[in-house]
Amino acid sequence: MAAQYNNNSDKVFVVLPETDEDELSLLLWVLNYFSQDKTKIIIIRVITVPLEELPDSHWINESLQMDLVMELCATYKFQVEKLVHKADDIADGVVQIIAKHGISNLVMGSTANSDMTDLASETAIKVRREANLSCKLWFVSNGNLIFTRDPVVNLASTSSGSSSESIIEEGDIDVDAFLSLMLHETSIKADNLEKMVEEFFGAHKKMAHLVNKLAKDSQQKEQEIRDLKENLEREKQEKDQLRREIEENEHKKIEEIEQITKEIDLLRIQRDEDLNQIQVAHERRLALEEQVSDLEFVVNELCMQKEKMHYGSSTALNSEFSLQELQQATENFSESLKIGEGAFGPVYKGSLRRTTVAIKLLRSQSIQGLSQFQQEITILTKVRHPNLVNLIGACSEVSALVYEYLSNGSLEDRLTCANNTPPLTWYTRTRIIGEICLALIFLHSNKPQLVVHGDLKPGNILLDTNLVSKLSDFGISRLLKQPDTNSTAFHETSRPSGTLSYNDPEYYSTGILTPKSDIYSLGIIILRLLTGKPPMNIARQVEDAMSNDMLSSVIDESAGAWPFEKAKELAKIALRCVEISRSQRPDLVNEVWVVVEPLMKAACTYVELAEESIPSHFICPIYQEVMKDPCIAADGFTYDAEAIKQWLSTGHNTSPMTNLSLPHHDLIPNRVLRSAIHEWLQSHPQS
C-alpha cells in the first residue's frame, strides 16, 4: 500500500469529518481549491471501532455516498480513490497514514476559534504538531481555510539515514541555522560534505527560482492593483456623472412642478373669473325674466288656476290666512316692521292670532315666483324637523307665507355682527354646524321623496332665541324620487339658480342638482363659521394655510379660543366637501357626520360647563322645551314622552332627528336625565 502512494506530490489526501454536512463542505472546498491543478484525490477514512474484519464498502456508508463523491469529482474532472485506516484515535491514525504513505499534501476539517484565525479542534492540533514535517497541511472549517502548515525541506542525510531539515517559506530561508546544522553534520560524518554542498546549492537554486517567481508575482500583483485603481477611478467618475445627472433631473422636475403649480393657480383664477361671469349672466337672466312678454300673462293665468287647485290640497296641514289678517298683523306692511328682503319679496314681522310670526310676501306674480312660492309650501307641509323653519300657514290672495318668528335673524347677520350684535362663540358655531348636518341628513333621507335644498347659505339659516339654527327658504328646493338602484337621485334644469358663492360648480355647469350639491354648500358654510371670511375664494385661502401649516392664521379669533385640533378636523372635512367634482365629496352620514357629531357633543358639553344656561340635552328635539318626562326612542335620541308619542301616533315610522326607519316604537324612561333636569330646575328657578 505504501508503494502505491510513494510518488504522491500530485495527490491530495482528504480526511473526511464525522458528519455528512461537514464532509460535503470539506469536499467542495478541496474541489474548488485544487481545480486548476487537477490533482488526484485520495479520500481517507480513519476507523476507530475495534472491528476484526471491516468490509471495504462499510466506511463509505457511514459518510458521503460514494456515488455523490464520484459525481462531484467527475464534475470537477478529478480522479478519486479511497484509503481506509484503523486506529485507536483519529489523530494518531492520520499521523500514522502520513508517515506510512509519505503523504505530501493533506486536507482535513477542524473547528475554528471565535475569530477564525486558529484551530479549536484537539484532533487537528495534534495532527499539526505530530505529523511528518515534510507534509503540507490545510485545515478547513465550514468551507473556509483557517490554517496552513507548510512543509520542511529535507537538505541532507547522515550515513545512518538520519536527515537535517530546515524551513523554506515563500522564498525565505534561515541561513544561520542552516550553516550551523551543516557544520554539525560535517563533524559527524565528513564523507557527506560533498553531498550536503550539492543539496545546499540545489536548495539555493530553488530559492533563487522562488525569488524570481515571487518577483514576477509581485509585478503581477502591482499591475492588478494599478488595474483595480483605474477601475475604481472609472467607477467613481461614472458615479459622479450619474449623481450630476440625477441632480439635473431633480432640478428639472422641481421646475416642472413649479410651472404646473403656476398653471394651476392661473386655472383657479380663471375659474373664479368664469364663476363671476356666470353669476353676472345669471343675474341678467333673472332681470330678463321680469320682462316677460304678453304671452306669459296668458300662461300665468293658466298656471295660477292649476296651482290654486294643487295648493288647496297641499296646504291641508297649514292655516289659511286672509289678506286682511296679514295687513292687521303688519300694520299694513309697515316699513318699520320689515325685517328682511328676499330674492322674490320682503319679509315682515307681525303678530297673528296672538303669535309673533314672520310673513314673506311675494312681490312679483311671475311664473318663477309663483313656482317657488308653491314649491316652498309643498316641501314644508311634507317635512318637519327641529332644525327646519316651521311653516304656520299661507295667504293665497297675495301669495304670502307665514312662518314662526326667529328673533336672532339669519346666520349671515350674526357672522357680520349686524346691528352691533356680539360675534358667535366657537362652540355655538360648532353646534350650528352639527344642526345643519342633522337637518340635511333628514332631508336627504326623506321618503318617498328626498329633498335637496339647492340654496343653502347663511342668509337662509335662521336662529331662534337660544341661537338654535333652522333651515329656511325652500323656494328652489326639489323633491327627488328615491332611486331603486345604487344610482344617484338628481334634478336636471337648463336654468340653474341659487347663490354662486355657495352653489355646487357642477350644478352650474351641467344643470344637475343632487344631494352632493348641498354638501358643497355645507363645506363653504363650515369654512365661513371657522374663519369669518367672505365666501369668495375662501376654500383656496384655507387650503393654502393648511398646506403651509398655518391654519391658525385664518381662524376667526372673534369666536374665542378655538380648540386647534377640533378646528383642524372641521377644516379638513370642509375642504373635502368643496371638491369641484361631486364624486370626490364625502358621504354626509358615513363621513361628514362621523367627524361633526363628536365635535358638536364636545361643544355642547363645554357650554354646559362654562355657562349657566339650560343644558342642551335637557331640551326636547321636537318641542324645543325642557323635557318633563324624557324617554329614549329606538333611534338613540331622547325626547319628551308626550312629544314622541304624538309623533308616533300620527303615523310616523321614522326618527324625527335622522328620518331613518325606527326598528320599533318602544320607549325607555330616562330616569337619570329626568332626575338631573329636576335638580337643575330647583337650583335654577325660571322667572
Active site residues per annotation:
455
Q: What is the DSSP string of 288-351?
A: HHTT--HHHHHHHHHHHHHHHHHHHHHTTTSEE--HHHHHHHTTTT-GGGEEEEETTEEEEEEE
Cβ atoms 74, 67 nearer than 8 A: no
Residues pairing with 346 in the sheet: 341
Cβ atoms 522, 487 nearer than 8 A: no
3-state secondary structure of 239: helix
**How far are the Cα atoms of 251, 637, 646, 647, 677 from residue 640, in angstroms, in the given order?**
67, 10, 10, 11, 12
- The answer to whether the peptide bond before residue 656 is cis (omega within 30 degrees of 0) is no
- Neighbouring residues of 210: CB distance < 8 A, sequence distance ≥ 6: 168, 170, 171
Closest CA to 398 of 472, 309, 333: 333
Q: What is the DSSP string of 405-425?
A: --TT-BHHHHHTTGGGPPPPP
C-alpha span between 559 and 599 (Å, rounded) = 16
Cβ atoms 350, 330 nearer than 8 A: yes
> What nine digits make up the cell of 436?
345643519
Contacts 24+ apart (CB under 8 A), 287-291: 289/366, 289/368, 290/364, 290/366
Contacts 24+ apart (CB under 8 A), 205-210: 206/168, 207/168, 207/171, 207/173, 210/168, 210/170, 210/171
3-state secondary structure of 529: helix
Q: Which helix (H) or strand (E) holds 527?
A: helix 515-531
Amino acid of residue 166: S
